[in-house]
Structure 1
């Protein structure tokens, strides 16, 4: 029987509002505006014209939906067994669950990503809240971030719970 830990994303209401409005605008363009613009004398040419004109708006709709769903309803769910852990990102499009075996993980840590070093340089995260910590699994290839943008207390609590189950 696995232990289940659910971590709700911190909702940014400004992003939710802006992305929600962008989704409504894209739906309006796709369903009302583009069919009116694409009307031609030939039925076949109308359909072809509509499809070619609507593709960029559908792409933006999917992108806005991706951000809006994850920001508004996103959760990280950890299924922890004594020998493995599965990480599932609920309400995040185009992601599948990932499974990590206990023998592949060297350590579980919390990391502060207020200043993040990447291959392309240094990225500074200036947040008004103190939610810049991540729970990180250390393996032979480096570190794998499983939970992002939580407070230090929450990250330490989650890391301690995983360590208790795995020890």
Structure 2
């Protein structure tokens, strides 16, 4: 039993490390976008390359915050009312389901209470910023370039396959 377990442990595919570790391997390609790096690794997989030896590494990471809208009291209160309405409606429906003969009263009370509390909490949160953040934005983590690394045992053949991909995708004018 122990010998079978030990043998099975050695034949398993290597797993990615659980803790954050620096990537290892030799660079076999460098790309401007993640999509290009992903396409390169997909090409390697299509050619039956052992992609478990490959890592895509974003180099020079940047946090990009894209501003999408100006924030006003009207937008804050409307958003708070809408989210509060959904929660209040949910609570009201639950109350009406478990209260025999209650009718629509719990639903209406839950809806109105949800709107009121949603607006109050949204207003309190916005007032706490004191006008220091009057906009809505989304943050992204992007990199200046994306390198494809491969373990040394297969790096040369991986580099050759990616060179073939680069030559086939060039457009001759």
Which structure has the larger Rg over C-alpha atoms? 2
| TM tier, smaller | under 0.3
Q: Which has the higher strand share?
A: 1
After TM superposition, the score normalised by the length of structure 1 is 0.25
- If asked which structure has higher relative contact order (CA below 8 Å, sep 6+), I would say 2
Q: Which has the higher helix share?
A: 2
After TM superposition, the score normalised by the length of structure 2 is 0.24
